[in-house]
Amino acid sequence: MSGLRILAPALPETLADIGFWPDGDVSGARLRGLSLSGEDRRECRLEGCRVESCRLLGCDLRGAVFRDCELVNCDLSGCNLRDAWFLRCTLSGVRADGADLSGARLEHLVLRESRLEGANLEGASLAGCALADCRLAGAWLTRLRARDWRLERCDLTRASVVGTPLRGQDLSECGIEGLVLSESAAELRGAVVSGLQAVELARLLGVVVR
């Protein structure tokens, strides 16, 4: 995406179908249609797995590791993913409203057509990441440690980006109404916006446009 070099997940050619989420590490498996609520899965490790249509509502996944994984049409709403590590992963059609991803490490990750409204990514580390067609309204994207990343056609309405430099980001196709910035709006230096967005941002910063 947009010239980024993002390594794709390296999944085994054959995956073992598992009808439950086992304790301990999971490798080379397909987990499909599972439903967990509020379970403690701290520091679990999934490697070379495909997770499909699973509902993990409000689960404790602190420190979890997802390595070479695909997550498709899963619901992670309200999950605690603090300090989790996603390495070479693709997430599509994922819902993670209100999830806590603060301090998480996201490396070589593609997140597409997903919803993370009100999610907390404060202090997360991003390297080689693309977020495309995602709903991030009201999300906390504060103080991200980010490099080689792209936001494409994302809804950032009322999202907070305080302390996260957006230099080089093309926001012209993103929704940025009510974007929360620091007082100096330094986060927007070097970002690309449309003419209409520039007018809205000028008003936000107290500039009178005639």
Domain membership flag for residue 2? no
Domain membership flag for residue 196? yes
CATH classification at residue 195 = 2.160.20.80
Per-residue pLDDT at 186 exceeds 60:
yes
Domain membership flag for residue 33? yes
Domain membership flag for residue 173? yes
CB distance 171 to 153 below 8 Å: no
Domain membership flag for residue 72? yes
Domain membership flag for residue 209? no
Provide the pLDDT for residue 210.
60
Print the domain residue range for 117: 17-204
Per-residue pLDDT at 2 exceeds 60:
no
State the total domains in the chain: 1
Per-residue pLDDT at 207 exceeds 80:
no
Per-residue pLDDT at 209 exceeds 70:
no
Provide the pLDDT for residue 3.
72
> CA separation (Å) from 189 to 36, 134, 150, 181, 183?
43, 23, 16, 11, 13
pTM of the model: 0.93
- Total length of the chain: 210
Closest CA to 154 of 139, 138, 132: 132
Domain membership flag for residue 4? no
Domain membership flag for residue 90? yes
